[in-house]
Amino acid sequence: MNAVGSAEGKMVGPPLWLLAELTYRCPLHCVFCSNPLDYARHGNELSTAEWRRVLSEGRAMGAVQLGLSGGEPLLRDDLEEIVAHAHGLGFYVNLITSGIGLTESRARALKEAGLDHIQLSFQDSTRELNDFLSSTRSFDLKAKVAGIIKGLGYPMVLNCVMHRYNLPHVGRIIAMAEAMGADFLELANTQYYGWAWLNREALMPTREDLVHAEAIVDDHRARLAGRMKILWVSPDYQDARPKACMNGWGAVFLLVAPDGAALPCHSARVLPGLDIPFVQDRSLSEIWYESSTFNLYRGSAWLSDTCRSCDQHTHDFGGCRCQAYLITGAADATDPVCPKSPDRPLVDSLIARAGGSSSIVAQPLKFVPNLARQLALVYRTDANSRERCDAEDRAHG
């Protein structure tokens, strides 16, 4: 514990989980990407030396788990050097990747550098939908990479973001993971931030979709007990239960973005008025313990009366600030997914709008020219990000 306290006088512990977003560059164009819509503004990337310093400072503070993500972290030519440095510091090092660019020789080099764990993402169990959702021909490459990961003895961890288009395939996705010899499968229902927020009406499933899919997951989980662990990340919109976002703001999680911005969560850039600290200007310790950004929603002093009077606030920590802002326009509002929130009707309205284009969902492998346009899907591309930046600039004069 550090001598610096939170707003209510409690001691602040160290960041145990450090996420290094090494780059926003990515070969995929996923419609549910969590990267900021205006990532084109943040093209500068920390140097190798700067990343080494950040990791050293984080480990000295007590961080033990390191995630390397992006964008696509394999696009960094210095990835092996970063991994070796992190391993030498004593981190458990996890690579979060699309797999694009992971050859057998590079996977071997990363293992020799000390990489502990690779989490490989798929968009679906079928080539057609996988490639449609990422707007790239990537399925066959991902399948090959899965074999490389397994062959080199890494823990086999697969991840698939779930939404209305691939929920009907959840049984097939589990079967694919089983056939690939996965040790863990994370079925992460879409969190509506970044590009997923922009595409929310197209991606949002119905409650019936989710109930049906979860029942299938439960059946397979029982069947595969002891062989493959399946993690189902519940959708808080439909569950009407605030998630313990990052286990509390500024409690255990610290993200460093490609340009050096230090953030309490993946989407904090969206919040207006944050005085975002940068690792080029301040030490990681000073940022974590003393910056206004990390102390803003730390602890419980900031909670609304609705949250503070609820016996769940020590478990959900008031829910998600970015979600509260995106839906209500107020970052300090009660998380609107909560039934006690006066803004819960806004969430119910979003869910009620789910279910359009049902004929396409019923036949998710049948794609037609200009389907993305028909579904009003916006892909995560550099051009689309620049367009968002230009629109924001025009709006602000």
For the full predicted model, state whether its pTM sits above 0.85: yes
Percent of the chain with pLDDT over 70: 92
Annotated binding site for [4Fe-4S] cluster: 26, 30, 33
Take residue 302 and report the two structure tokens written for it: 């900031």
Q: In the predicted model, is pLDDT for residue 367 greater than 70?
A: no
Q: Note the pLDDT of residue 359.
A: 41
**What would the pLDDT profile of 3-53 be if each residue is shown by its tens digit?**
454 555 468 999 999 999 999 999 999 999 999 999 999 989 999 999 999
Q: pLDDT band at 360, cuts 50/70/90?
A: very low
Which residue positions form the known binding site?
26, 30, 33
Residues of the chain by 3-state class (helix, strand, coil), percent to 5: 45, 15, 45
pLDDT grade for 376, boundaries at 50, 70 and 90: confident
Q: How far, in Å, CA of 191 to CA of 369, rounded?
A: 28
Q: Please report the pLDDT score of residue 143 as a whole number.
A: 96
> What is 14-239's CATH topology?
TIM Barrel (3.20.20)
Cα gap 4→201, rounded to integer Å: 43
Is the previous residue joined to 43 through a cis bond, with omega within 30 degrees of 0?
no
Residue 68 has pLDDT above 60, yes or no: yes
The pLDDT-based confidence of 354 (bands split at 50, 70, 90) is confident
* Dist CA 317 CA 336 (whole Å): 14
State the average pLDDT over residues 173-177.
97
Q: Is the pLDDT of residue 290 over 80?
A: yes
pLDDT of residue 373: 62
pLDDT at 396: 82
The span from the CA of 376 to the CA of 386, in Å, is 18
